[in-house]
Structure 1
Amino acid sequence: MLWSSLVGALALVAPTNALIRFGCSQLVVDRLDPLVQPGVEPSAHLHQIVGGNTFNVTMDPNNDIASMATCTTCQFSEDFSNYWTAVLFFKHKNGTYKRVPQIGNLGFDNANGGMTIYYMQDALYNMNQSSKVTAFKKGFRMIVGNPTITTKEDARKFRQITYTCLQDMATRGPETMEFPTSYCPAGILANVRFPTCWDGKNLDSPNHASHMAYPISGTFESGGPCPDSHPVRVPQLFYETNWDTREFKDLWPADGTSPLTWSQNGMGTDREGYGSHADYVFGWKGDALQRAMDSNCYVNCTTLKTQTMEEQNKCSLANVVKEPIDGWLPQLPGNPTG
């Protein structure tokens, strides 16, 4: 089903549903990681970041980034959160690398790259978004995935970090745990879904992950119960990044191997894409996110303030780390070893 048809059908469902889907244009692509390597400049590998312009090398958890920010790259203008992932590169057969550009998702065609962000009460394509969820709090942050993972067995620990080979911009399946090995006519969609059960106490944890958990049985989408250790059901946070691989069509290997690599994979140990990972720092203004989750917000949301695509595209940050990240490079930025 095309996304436009899906949205039209979802608009007819009962007014107890809450699922918001919105585009966030590119804020900056830089070698900073204020969660894993706070204060370190540069960090080990390159990231692509969207959201509020308070993003910086430290991201002090005591700061209210929603009140400090002056702009956001996200459509909902009360969202000054920061969302980021590693950066995708194409590896030429001669050993050089080129950053894969990003394009706006379906419905966000004029976005300056970036990502599509979802907050959901239930499954993405569920017509009945009715579960009660507790919005994240000021100071909350988390990470999902692990950049050092190189095997499918280890990758299974993180549910629903996947890839979709786009036949056109409306393609939404199948999803695979591995990079597509054949050329994808409309690019590659990288999907990241975060855990949905919170311990209800800690806004963060030393590894930025243990304060979160998956349902003890079943899945978030099937209404699986949260474990006693993490009893609070929070929204399903979901990132989609459209990586535009079309310029590499004539360079794609014919032997079935993937030419793609994440920015942390300087030694080439992860040829399958298992090391995909993502970071989140909450920065919604006031109770805006909770109001949205408690309202009849399905994709669009009149409860929230919005800005134009032109306005969100104008919000940006200058690179802190001055180094080449575009064009054909002899090695990945930072030449990471993981």
Structure 2
Amino acid sequence: MAAGAAVAVTVVAGTAVYLADAPAAEETTNAANALAYGSPPSGLAAPGGSSAATSTTPSAAASPSGKPSTSTGPSAAAKPVAKGGWIPVDPAAWKAQADAYKAMKTDPVPAGVGNLPEFRADCQYSHRRPDDPIVAPGLPGASHMHSFVGNKGVDADTVAEDLMMFTASTCKPAQDHSAYWVPTLYDNATGKPVETTGFRVYYRSLRSNSSGQMPMPNGMRMISGDAKKKVPTPRGASGQFYCAHYGPGDLDGVARSTNGNWPICGGNATLHFMMQFPDCWDGKHLDSPNHKSHVAYGSNEGCPSSHPVRIPAITFDIQYGVKGTPAGYYLSSDKEGKSASSMHGDAFVMWDVRMMNKQTKNCILQRKTCDNDGYDG
């Protein structure tokens, strides 16, 4: 764990899990001061100290998804090309979403609803491909193997427009057209893939208040974790797989694999993994060259001035229907090391805008527990 990072204990779906949280930013601002821009804020520097004017993103007008337009005339309808770098948000589309969110009234809260500020999408395994439309856009087969949930049409060439046009999904609610993916897990003894048996995506507040809370913009791309990290994950290590439901041996299992990197679960417990994404956004970019610099972690005081917009924090809660074995497992991102340290996740967000706004306002802003469709009570 990096120096200065804090270990947070969170309770999700009845299970206590240790999460590594990012250091709190020193300079903060209320996200409500940067809700809706008529144009990108001119004083906000791009990560690394350069301004947006020096971005490597093409300067063509952005489409509603944030992709540069490839149109050469009123009748042109060429499909946008998948590409990376600094992807700008469409300021008009974001302003329209922000204005609608601020004008939206909250729904009455039924009796018995809890006070966890979150809503969720419950997803199942969709497909497996050696593609990554965030890290290696437009390059089929260029990635290690990934296991996808959510939008069924995702491949290396997927752009934001595709997620809204092709909406068949393994997630509920149906208004979530997003794609989520992680490196494929393999059984070390057989070499066969072990796919997820449950994949819950929380959108929630990480903080003790919801001041300045805004919805997630469509087309947002981000990554949690580090595919290049290759260190052991022994008992008690951060970033390891754990045993759910407090089977005998608790989170670390009743035993470990021969190499010590994987738990062996007791009782009814099975392997799980949880990862957390940032909750603050720069308000200007839907992606960045390293897929992390456009977002950041905030604190109870607010978001850092470089990333002033407070967005829902995505959290993956992933279940695998296996209990662990002495032979252990390996991830497609680290076949040789056979540890869990390279586990990472990608989120390519696309929701029905009204549903995203409604869930954010009812559930996170009001700090009420919601499920796939609304209040959970």
Unpaired runs of 5+ residues, structure 1, are: 105-114, 154-159, 254-258, 305-338
Structure-1 residue corresponding to 2:184: 87
CA shift for structure 1 position 79: 0.3
Structure-2 residue corresponding to 1:42: 141
Amino acid at match of 2:148: I
- Counterpart among 31, 34, 48 of residue 130 in structure 2: 31
Is 1:264 aligned with 2:333? Answer: yes
Are residues 171 and 73 of structure 1, via their aligned partners in 2, closer, same or farther at CA, if it must alter by over 3 Å? farther
Are residues 242 and 291 of structure 1, via their aligned partners in 2, closer, same or farther at CA, if it must alter by over 3 Å? same
CA shift for structure 1 position 22: 3.2
Is 1:238 aligned with 2:333? Answer: no
Count of residues in correspondence between the two structures:
256
CA shift for structure 1 position 21: 2.8
Is 1:206 aligned with 2:273? Answer: no
CA distance in 1, matches of 2:282, 2:314: 16
Alignment of 1:175-190 (within 5 A): 181-185=262-266, 186-190=269-273
Structure-2 residue corresponding to 1:53: 152
Structure-1 residue corresponding to 2:243: 165
Q: TM-score, normalised by structure 1?
A: 0.66
Larger radius of gyration: 2
CA shift for structure 1 position 294: 0.2
Identity across the alignment (%):
26
CA distance in 1, matches of 2:232, 2:279: 22
Structure-1 residue corresponding to 2:359: 292
Amino acid at match of 1:183: I
Are residues 55 and 226 of structure 1, via their aligned partners in 2, closer, same or farther at CA, if it must alter by over 3 Å? same
CA shift for structure 1 position 190: 0.9
Alignment of 1:211-222 (within 5 A): 211-215=294-298
Structure-2 residue corresponding to 1:307: none
CA distance in 1, matches of 2:15, 2:340: 31
CA distance in 2, matches of 1:45, 1:88: 11
Does the 8 Å CA contact 1:18/1:129 hold for their aligned counterparts?
no
CA distance in 1, matches of 2:241, 2:265: 11
CA shift for structure 1 position 120: 0.5
Unpaired runs of 5+ residues, structure 2, are: 1-10, 17-110, 254-258
Report Cα offsets for 1:172-199 as digits up to 9, x if no partner: 9579xx9854411322111110011111
SS at match of 2:356: helix
Structure-1 residue corresponding to 2:119: 20
Amino acid at match of 2:279: T
Does the 8 Å CA contact 2:118/2:205 hold for their aligned counterparts?
yes
CA distance in 2, matches of 1:210, 1:72: 29
Amino acid at match of 1:21: R
SS at match of 1:203: strand
Does the 8 Å CA contact 2:127/2:152 hold for their aligned counterparts?
no
Are residues 2 and 295 of structure 1, via their aligned partners in 2, closer, same or farther at CA, if it must alter by over 3 Å? closer
CA distance in 2, matches of 1:208, 1:184: 34
Are residues 129 and 52 of structure 1, via their aligned partners in 2, closer, same or farther at CA, if it must alter by over 3 Å? farther
CA distance in 2, matches of 1:261, 1:72: 27
Report Cα offsets for 1:220-264 as digits up to 9, x if no partner: 5xx253221111111110011112223x64xx15xxxxx221112
Amino acid at match of 2:315: F
Are residues 42 and 122 of structure 1, via their aligned partners in 2, closer, same or farther at CA, if it must alter by over 3 Å? same
SS at match of 1:279: strand
Q: TM-score, normalised by structure 2?
A: 0.59
Structure-2 residue corresponding to 1:121: 205
CA shift for structure 1 position 116: 0.8
Is 1:98 aligned with 2:181? Answer: no
Alignment of 1:278-317 (within 5 A): 278-296=345-363, 298-300=369-371, 302-303=373-374
Instruction: Specify which structure has the bigger relative contact order, considering alpha-carbon pairs within 8 angstroms and separated by 6 or more residues.
Output: 1
Does the 8 Å CA contact 2:140/2:157 hold for their aligned counterparts?
no
Are residues 273 and 224 of structure 1, via their aligned partners in 2, closer, same or farther at CA, if it must alter by over 3 Å? farther
CA shift for structure 1 position 150: 1.6
Does the 8 Å CA contact 2:201/2:317 hold for their aligned counterparts?
yes
- Counterpart among 140, 149, 157 of residue 229 in structure 2: 149
CA distance in 1, matches of 2:213, 2:227: 29
